[in-house]
Structure 1
Amino acid sequence: MKNKPLSVQIWLFLGATLAAVLLVVVLGPIVFRGFFIPDIYQLIETSQESFLADGLPDPQEHLPPDSRGPQLPRITHFYLSKTEGKISPPHLHPAFLAEVKENAGLQREQSRRYKTQAGGGASFYVIRRVDDDFLVSFMSDVFHDNVFLTLFRRLIKLILLIFLVSLLPSLWLAKYITRPLVALEAHVRQIASRDWSTPIQLDRSDEIGRLAASVEWMRSQLSSQEQERRIFLQNISHELKTPVMVIRSYARSINDGIFPKGDIYSSIEVIEQEAERLERRVRQLLYHTKLDYTAGKFNLEPFALAELVEDIIDRMRWRRPELEWNLELVPVTLNGDREQWMVALENLFDNQIRFAKKQIAVCLTSYPAYAALSIQNDGPPIDREIKNTLFEPYRKGPSGEFGLGLSIVRRVAENHSAQIKVCEEEGAVAFRLTIPHSR
């Protein structure tokens, strides 16, 4: 049923509900047929009491029936005398009279209820002892059947009326529900076709409205990401093309016997620097893409953060041997993805080495719930406009480069529920990481 159109589902639900009601109506008389029987006996006994209220009737006279109108049952009374052996009226069915006489002879109670099929149909009757004789009152089961037949007809009419009255509202409800869903389907198809230019506008506050708002938020996010991707591709192509062009031009010049830097060693050094720059850009781009594809998948294991920091510094300090390093590291064990933290710290230290003037200070402190890592350099202050977007991907840095290093640092920190912020104090720029001991 869930694969059917919504309008069909509403109709099927309405039809199933109607069928269930009809089933109850049809089975009701069978299941609850005996529900009214105590009331029928009560009517017979009340009629008897009304006849006996004015005194005992003459057993030789015919007793008139208790006429109650067209909507109420017709109750017939007759008097059974044991002494004279006469009954009134005389036109009753012999089988019925025989059964009544037999039951009266066996009855010891003052009054007793009976039901019989004798005489060609069901009848309810009550035998009441009056001195040594009996007053018999009976009613045919025709009224019992008529009650259910009348009830059944009225219920059928009521159900048909409800069905006809609910037909148009059901059609309107189906259209009302499906119209915005059809519009959402069209917008989602546009989004799937990478057409993110048309906004979704549904003035609703219900579940469909919230769904439309979520789809619109997704559209705007995809549109923003597409715009950022285009800007990134434009600038990263420039970032990759520049070192390639330098390497090619220097290689051709050296091949022609020309040394752009005056000698072969200086010219080859430029080629190595550009190759290193190109390698760093490609490595950052690949790892940033890897983080996108491995989101939520970590290799969590305990590792010593202080040892990892020292190892990275030992490998990277050669890039600028003149820098002074001040280290204050306490032993800290974290539970996280060591590879991700290694890449993040490499990018963070790479940023420090490029902008530091003379020294870099690294301080690692342990607290009961978290570890705090501070990396500080004496480089130039960060421009306020750049500071607000420093950790966002595809943003131009102070040197005009479109790197991804700090964006990778933030992604890794978020993966481990850590926080990173940048601040300036006493003429220095400091990056502070707050890392919980366990993720």
Structure 2
Amino acid sequence: TTSDNKDLSNSHSNHLIMDISSIPPGVVTGKNLLKLFEIARESGYAIPAVNCVSSSSCNAVMEAAAKANSPVILQISQGGGQFYCGKGVTLVDKLKASAAGAVAMAYHVRAVAKFYGIPVVTHSDHCAKKLLPWFNAMLEADEEYFAKTGEPLFSSHMLDLSEESDEENIEICTKYFKRMAKVDLMLEMEIGITGGEEDGVNNEDVDPEKLYTTPQQVFSVYEALSPISPMFSIAAAFGNVHGVYKPGNVKLSPEKLGNHQAHAHKVLGGSNPKPIFLVMHGGSGSTDAEISEAVSNGVVKMNIDTDTQWAYWDGLRKFEASKRAYLQAQIGNPDGADKPNKKAYDPRVWLRAAEGSMCDRVGVSLQKLSTEGVLGAGYAGCYKDEEPVSQVLGAAAAAPTAPAPTAPTPPDNTLKFGLCVVIGSVLGVALCKSTK
């Protein structure tokens, strides 16, 4: 009911928003993730969500965020997950490989994120209805991880059922969200269609009217999901298109996002004029002014893929051009016919050139979205060198909300072990001699 929704809106807007320094570094989930988005919305910035396909691209994104002293989102698509698993994996069910790769990415980020000293969100990208087995497998991994640690493996997942009817879209999202809420996962859903082509879903010939979500559509999602949990965001279409286009060729209407917020606020009341977390897809080719207006209207997450793909390649392209004479043979270059070229063709060298270029491009997005420096100079969660590695990575079996129990000091069995080894060796030698 409307009165129930007003109560929900007030409780959500009154959710305790603390300084961002209270959010620890590493993978962010649950209440800390909700807090991160609330702070972004209230402070007027959005967090870039960069698609990754390898540990190399993951590291480049985290490096960029660490340099900019900002949080960041790493996301992986179904196709990206398949690539992460390895194109040599020839399963009949390719979605199993996609799920395995996505889970591998999540574990990789959990292992290293805290070393970058920033909050990191792990997210799975567009999941159409035909890809739900991929989604199910990731959700099962979340539930297994939650049972061991008290938090999900990923931070959030996206369901993109925008090709279905609004009724079916919301019905399926509601069903999954009830399950996700039990393990503190955030849901991103899409209503209205983002044009272009993304990971095998082609919307290039879609009815132009469907590229603009209405306030009523957005609020129908809010009404369905908010009684379950406040941890959801909505990718509402406002003319945005996946892919790369020249500025001006994409007709964005970011003011429509403000209309969604105004409609929700009018119905809900309360003190929060922007009660909905919004997400922007298809930002390539958008002007800085359009992006800024979208963020001012409550966009807390903006997807980035096409531009960072080019940046990764461009770094490699420039490296090859500058080192071409050293990349034609293992031995022999302008410095001498007998000079080795290993320092040029070592994958760690040319991959690093690609990472550096991608890192720089992510930095540009952090600036445009006003995320650069938001952690502040006094961010207290940074990794300290004196901390043991086991403490930084965390124990997989210990719930993060409770300190690990102190194990009793085991008896010193070093001498006993040593005697066993000696006796075993003597017996072994004797046995060998007796069999000769």
TM-score bracket relative to the smaller structure: under 0.3
Q: Which has the higher contact order (CA 8 A, sep 6+)?
A: 2
| Larger strand fraction of residues | 1
Structure 1 or 2, whichever has the larger Rg, is 1
